[in-house]
A = this chain, B = another copy of it.
Amino acid sequence: MKSVGKTGFLTGLPELLILRLLQDQEMYGYEIVQAIAQRSGGVVTPGEAVVYPLLRTLERDGDLKSRPEPADGRTRVYYALTSKGVRRLFDQTDQWTRVAKAIQQALR
C-alpha cells in the first residue's frame, strides 16, 4: 500500500501559472493573486489560501527564491524563479500541452 496520492491530471494549474508569471518578472504574493485572475481571464482564480502556501512550497523545493522588501509600512515578499524553477516551468508547460492536446483529441 504505497499510495503516492496525486489528486488530478491537471491539478497544479495555479502552480503553472505562478511559474509562468515569474518568468517575466519577480512579483510578490498579493500581486500574483491578482495577476493570475487577470491573466487567465478570470477562469482560474486561486485565492490567497492557495497562492501563499504554494509559494512557500515552491521555494522549499528550490524552484523559487524570495526576498522581503518593505513598502509603505507593509512588507512585500518578492519571489523569483531559480534555474530549477525555469526547468519546472518548461516541464509543466509541456505536460499541460500534452494533456490539452489529448483532451482536445478525445472530445472530437
Cα–Cα, bound, A17→B17 (Å):
25
CB neighbors of B among A84-106 (8 A): 93, 96, 98-106
Q: From known contacts A9-B43, A11-B8, A11-B11, infer whether A20 and B96 are also in contact, taking CB-CB under 8 Å.
A: no
Q: Is A40 an interface residue (CB 8 A)?
A: yes
Is the CB–CB distance between B102 and A96 below 8 Å? no
- Report B-chain residues with C-beta under 8 Å of the C-beta of A102: 40-41, 43-44
| Chain A interface extent, by class | 20 to 34
- Report B-chain residues with C-beta under 8 Å of the C-beta of A11: 7-8, 10-11
- Chain B nearest CB, measured from A10 CB (Å): 5
- Report B-chain residues with C-beta under 8 Å of the C-beta of A105: 39-41
